[in-house]
Amino acid sequence: MGLHDAIANWLIRYLTGELPGYQRRVPNDLPRMRESMEPCDILLVEGNSRISQMIMYLTQSSWSHAAIYIGDALLRWGGPHAAEALERFGEEATSLLVESDMINGVTVMPLSKYQDRNIRVCRPYGLRVDDRDRVLSVVLSHLGVRYDRRNIFDLARYLTPFHLLPRKFRRRTFYFGSSGSREIICSALLAKAFYKANYPIQPMIRVANPEVKNPARTRSMARHPSYIMPRDFDLSPNFEVLKLNLTAQIPRGEMAWG
């Protein structure tokens, strides 16, 4: 192992190291989630690693990670990844997520992985069946892609004391990696997949049209996928928040507090 790989491995272990004191605020009803979730639903996660804390700090959000629910789509599509998932997860292979992280790259995990985390489920409004299949196709085509280790050294900039940086530079520091794809975090892959179905995460922005000499003429453009954060799915007008952990109503007069 060369010096480059040794440093990258150390950074990965450091950034993904879990921190103490994590508290789950609401119990997750896993059976209800399995019954209610649909392919292309987005699962937002409040993580408890150093990198999670950095992402939540920079984005001023409760969410540090995003994964996409594919259900049993991988089993229906078949292939070596399907066989591996069935062998690893058994019956849970019918309720899978696709996610990307710096340790495993793009991979599938059972929904139960985040049963003990604070989570939120967001569903795209009016996504047609053919567009849903297009999103799933893009996501599944990335399975097995390893994380670009050149970006690990860009992530080392997270160790900078951000409170010393001017506010306007804090988010900029987070995005630009040395990788040509600039896909530093999980949500970039998901945004890329939805863009292939012409489904924007955030409202389109107006920019000058370089093909027209008149500077007043503009065109609509989606933000680059690398600028999409987990919180953008939560705030997006194109996604609705699902309430899958509803608690039973307490009869009047029986509530007490200390």
pLDDT tens by residue, the chain, 258 residues: 677 677 777 877 887 888 888 888 888 999 999 999 999 999 999 998 888 887 788 778 899 999 999 999 999 988 899 999 999 999 999 999 999 888 888 999 999 999 999 999 999 999 999 999 999 999 999 998 877 655 555 555 544 555 455 555 555 545 444 444 444 467 888 999 999 999 989 876 655 555 555 555 544 556 677 778 899 999 999 999 998 876 555 566 665 665
CATH tag, 3-242 = 3.90.1720.10
Q: Residue-wise over 63-95: b if at least 16 C-beta within 10 A, else e?
A: bbbbbbbbbebbbeeeeebbebbeeebeebbbb
DSSP structure class, residue 128:
-
Secondary structure element (H or E) that encloses residue 205, with its range:
strand 205-208
Q: How many CB atoms lie within 10 A of CB 167?
A: 8
pTM score, two decimals?
0.80
